[in-house]
Structure 1
């Protein structure tokens, strides 16, 4: 089942079950997808929907840092729950070991060995990890790999 249909069905089920947070989170995700579709004037396929959902997760993770600074446990809990709901629509997340393996393969492909060639590696790694790993984590792992 396409992600968009799954979101719609899960949203209906959440409303029926009176799962307010899940319904709100799915509704926000659907709105983000619709905004991109209207702005770009195209119907998004699953791959682009994964990008939108990954961006939504990223925004929430960034917000978590602010909530932690402000000691807002209520918002931290809510945001973590939203992240978990959204991750359910993304492909299985990669472990650090799997990401490192992708980085090593990319480095071999482009012959990169120093930090100045980080862009070359990221150009190969990003499409392979999109929606399956946090971009900041990937970037920091590439930096660590190249600085060794």
Structure 2
């Protein structure tokens, strides 16, 4: 990630979204509408106790890649039982790149959870969404995205 720090150090994770939060207002005219709405949500990076719409600690629960050439991708994140009351579904349109790069292994964790993420303008007018997970980094290049918070029944489709 360019601005957000989400790295494993010998004593745990070091997380800092502040440089990205300072950059977000400058990106308003460069990000597609859905990406802007998600990235600029005041709760997105508020890791304070009781914030149910912060992405930190969401658990990756599903990846659905379109089998046709429509460029669709859906990522589902289940709520963390101590932090969230609902999960998050991110639906991407016009996907040109999707990758999961595993960097290290933390064997005491049963699922990959979100550390933090960052959305930046893409070269083609779209955006690049990078999601730091406990064991990996996910990268999506797309035209836009839609992020919807809800319970499991709301997110099922």
Name the one with the larger helix percent: 1
What TM-score, normalized by structure 2, do the two folds share? 0.31
Name the one with the larger strand percent: 2
Q: Which has the larger radius of gyration?
A: 1
